[in-house]
Amino acid sequence: MQKKYTPKTKSQLIKSNNAVVGVVTAVLLIGLIVAVISLIQTIYIPKIMEQREAEHMDKVAEQFTYLTSVIDGQAADQSKNLPVATSVTLGSKELPYMLSIKAFGTLQILDNARFINITLSDGTTVESFPIGVISYSSINGYFLDQTYTYEAGAMIVSQTEGNLMMVRPSLFIEYDSTHNILNLTFDVVNITSVGQKTIASGFGTYPIQTEFYQVSTNVTYTAIHDVTIETPLSNAWYMFTDSLLKTTVNDNQYDLTDTGHSLVLDAFSGLTVNINYKIIDIRAQIGPGWVQQ
């Protein structure tokens, strides 16, 4: 038996239309929310995280500058058994409730990572001095990675494009124009590690402790032929040394070469060059609690 069709009443049609409009409205609202979240996630979150990581790099630069001042003070004061802790923040956390990644960093003490070579005028006597450094390198997710290095008394920041000296080392030049004598005074800070506390990685804040140990070298070399600093940060040393020499002697009286992995100062025209060379040993370790050795 065929079922008789009963047309819907006006009230039933209104209820049916309201239900459809409600579903469509919900779908549109969900789509709008998804679009807004996607816009925030793809445009604003990277900018916010990039700014956070840039601020963190500024903070590390400030902490490394303070570390440099602490070590320079210890090298000048030369008081033993007085370790001083300086905090370094390795990274930064991600944003809560949003999709982002942490920034990490590595702080380490590198023994004998650099070399300073001095050759005398006879060309046969070469003194080579290994130098330890303190280095921090970032692993950022949004901002340009940077490395801060304390080496031989200088603080240097480096990026992919190059490196720049932020704090000058204790290198001084005096020129005796009467006798054509160039006197260099170079007080080098050598970092040596204590125990096994030589590296820390992550995003937390870690102390690095330093103390004066000894003056291992204090000698004057006369009539030298050249001075070479073996370092991957040779560009920073080149710019600093070149600007220092230009204020004292003429460009044609010396030859300064940046090989990319070393700085060579030689070819002194008509000059007798002497160097007062001192190495100050600073012991360092990463983490709380000083380990005697």
Q: What is the pLDDT of residues 221-236, one digit of tens each?
A: 998 999 999 999 999 9
Could you write out the DSSP letters of every residue in 250-287?
Answer: -GGG-EEEE-SSEEEEE--SS-EEEEEEEEEEEEEEES
Q: Which residues pair with 135 in a beta bridge?
A: 108, 149
Helices (H) and strands (E) in the chain, counts: 3, 14
Average pLDDT over residues 212-229: 93
Residue ranges of the domains in the chain?
39-286
pLDDT over 70 at 54, yes or no? yes
**% of the chain surpassing 70 pLDDT:** 82
Question: Which distant-in-sequence residues (6+ apart) come within 8 Å of 6 by Cβ?
Answer: none
Q: What is the pLDDT of residues 106-162, one digit of tens each?
A: 999 999 999 999 998 877 778 899 999 999 999 998 899 999 999 999 999 999 888
Higher pLDDT, 27 or 19: 27
Closest CA to 271 of 283, 259, 253: 253
First-to-last C-alpha distance (Å) of the chain: 104
**Token duo for residue 190:** 């050598």
DSSP symbol at 92: B
Query: Helix %, strand %, coil % for the chain, to 5?
Result: 30, 45, 30
